[in-house]
Structure 1
């Protein structure tokens, strides 16, 4: 198995849930399930207080953009965002559960201001000269210039969010060594995987491209050849563009490609615009069987050809049954099996697993808990009738009758069957396109 590392804590999950599309609960529900299944106890290292400084962010992003993101005037409650009820919704749930079970609520910050106060204590010990200097140069920011609007709005404590979530990914690299005498490292940050962020602007709910920064850090540690694999419903455009002309970094993205679907890039033809790009544009209704064919017949041969020393996998879950997009119909088990196929197929490679899209928080918590469990123990959660264990956030699963496989059970009202518009002959077209 090798060395297991994960960036995960109550602090990190509450910071990650500042991101509006997390709906105040996605990351905390993941953390809750990882805890109630005792999965964190199985890791060799758990990073609980992640942080990165401005200097690290500048390894990829433009300084004017980073200055905008880290503007100290955003590290507070913004005037239009003072209501704590949405962000602290799980605290009330935790209090109710603790009252019923006559226990105390574990460390849980009840306000964002309290969370920031804790963050300041972390930051004061780890700040670089660039951070201190930039504090003295704050000025009015034109958010539109950096696309800090629409799906990438400025929100309360945005700088803290960027430094903690990106730091969680970058700290994983501290545990990964080239030609280590130990076994390989498998490292996880389910809050990372922000694959749309560009060098000079935010995009698609992504502000800092932690994936690009991670790959650059691994390259600086001596890793020459790396492969990036993206399972998200959306094209991994930010990562692809960053390494468009790199012979050493291979980018592979499987994604929905339809007219007008964000980010509208990622065609087979687009793959010709760089040195080591592999786009696999897919249609509506993708299912487990077709994904399995794609991974077996296309993705693995592509990785084999590149012979990477480390692999980074973006594990987006917006193609799962139950997701708000309702575009693909992957099951948790089916998606996990294909991710694990890559992990197991390259047993000499260190692997970093990052999060990504996914807009039904209770589906995503199941997905990341199951994938984490299967990485640790292949026999994890084999019961078809599995019930979500009793824990602090159990009430979040009430509408799904607490069933782990609620969205995948045959006959379930929550299960939706889509027409698979992906054609078998397309796989041969892709193989021919990439010469495999």
Structure 2
């Protein structure tokens, strides 16, 4: 079957998954095993996130593969509830939330929902188009990440996983970069308001974590660290080496970076971070758009590269963790990645062969978990990387 035919098969199966979310394997109950790792999950959350146009069905594939490997039974279920307006207003403006609610109501009634000439559309256009049930989707995503933060505060678990959150581009009163709500900021603010004093945020997405960085740009309590592609014209256009400060570190990268280079650089960045910031909680966004095969086609990372970084984080910090999802638009590879990262976080070995389950045929032709890097050239040469590290190591920048 040709590439276009293959994509149409995937899309049709994903649409069927969304339609049957309450009937398929996602309706199975979790084990009562009270592990130190918590997993944020509900059918309603998966259904809402799977309706987002750019990642349609991705959440269902991720959860399905985690279940196929039996990893769900090794985690404690963290059942989320929709965030309230009050909870979301801890970061987002009342005007922005009211606009989302109004747009949602107008779409439901088939009314005109575009902003009048000169009116602020709060970013609900272009890459963040108004979509049906938007307010419910926003509140579900926000509630899922607050559930992760609440589990850490209550000490229900030491590590919380929410692969269905991680929307790092949204600002206080603006949607941006496919992100309608900044659930990461909401989770950090909850930790700060409940006894945590110094929080480290690590962003491994292909794109600069601008929304989170901007939210805490003037705070000494949060350090943000982002490794990302940076070049003229590439979204969001921020995160250059000159954008660094005492409490934010940006590592702008060029195309083609591979596992070996990325992991080596990451180790050195973490050493710099540890010398400057004594965190009592670590939050990591694990966007999958850095993987080889992503439609952005920029980095040359495999599951092993990102997995090694997550292992390094866990071994470097004796603190509670929250792991988030994020970008990633080859949805099959993202489901592979977040399943693999779940196994690493749990300390459980899983086989390369994907188990038989309802989505098994989507993973053809290899039916394997791991992917291979491409032969593309790594533009991050030693001279460029040494220059980056020298700048990052300079305490006077």
TM-score by length of 1: 0.78
Quick one: distance in 2 between partners of 1:46 and 1:303?
A: 31
Closer, same or farther: CA 75–54 of 1 in aligned 2, 3 Å: farther
> Is the 8 Å Cα contact of residues 104 and 132 (structure 2) preserved in structure 1?
no
For 1:276-326, what per-residue CA distance to the aligned partner results, in whole angstroms no more than 9, with x for missing partners? Answer: 110000000011011111111123331342010000000001010111111
Number of residues of Structure 1 aligned to a counterpart in Structure 2 = 358
For 1:203-242, what per-residue CA distance to the aligned partner results, in whole angstroms no more than 9, with x for missing partners? Answer: 0000110111111100001111010000000000000111
Q: For residues 356-367 of structure 1, what are the structure 2 equivalents within 5 Å?
A: 356-367=326-337
Cross-structure match for 2:9: none
For 1:176-213, what per-residue CA distance to the aligned partner results, in whole angstroms no more than 9, with x for missing partners? Answer: 138x6x9x610011011111001110000001101111
Closer, same or farther: CA 165–225 of 1 in aligned 2, 3 Å: same
Aligned-residue Cα RMSD (Å) equals 2.2
Quick one: distance in 2 between partners of 1:60 and 1:292?
A: 33
Matched, 1:157 2:133: yes
Cross-structure match for 2:100: 69
> Is the 8 Å Cα contact of residues 284 and 327 (structure 1) preserved in structure 2?
yes
Cross-structure match for 2:286: 315
Matched, 1:388 2:360: no
Matched, 1:215 2:188: yes
> Is the 8 Å Cα contact of residues 74 and 155 (structure 1) preserved in structure 2?
no
Closer, same or farther: CA 147–424 of 1 in aligned 2, 3 Å: same
Matched, 1:333 2:269: no
Higher RCO structure (Cα 8 Å, ≥6 apart): 1
Closer, same or farther: CA 2–204 of 1 in aligned 2, 3 Å: same
Shift of 1:435: 2.7
DSSP-derived class of the 2:128 partner:
coil
Quick one: distance in 2 between partners of 1:337 and 1:246?
A: 30
Q: For residues 265-414 of structure 1, what are the structure 2 equivalents within 5 Å?
A: 265-272=238-245, 275-346=246-317, 348-381=318-351, 386-398=352-364, 400-405=365-370, 407-408=371-372
> Is the 8 Å Cα contact of residues 82 and 144 (structure 2) preserved in structure 1?
yes
Q: Which ranges of structure 2 fall in alignment gaps of 5 or more residues? A: 1-33
Quick one: distance in 1 between partners of 2:102 and 2:274?
A: 40
> Is the 8 Å Cα contact of residues 50 and 165 (structure 1) preserved in structure 2?
no
Cross-structure match for 2:26: none
Shift of 1:363: 0.3
Closer, same or farther: CA 2–306 of 1 in aligned 2, 3 Å: farther
Q: Which ranges of structure 1 fall in alignment gaps of 5 or more residues? A: 81-138, 409-414
Matched, 1:47 2:20: no
Q: Which of 49, 58, 64 lines up with 1:16 in the alignment?
A: 49
Shift of 1:140: 8.4
TM-score by length of 2: 0.85
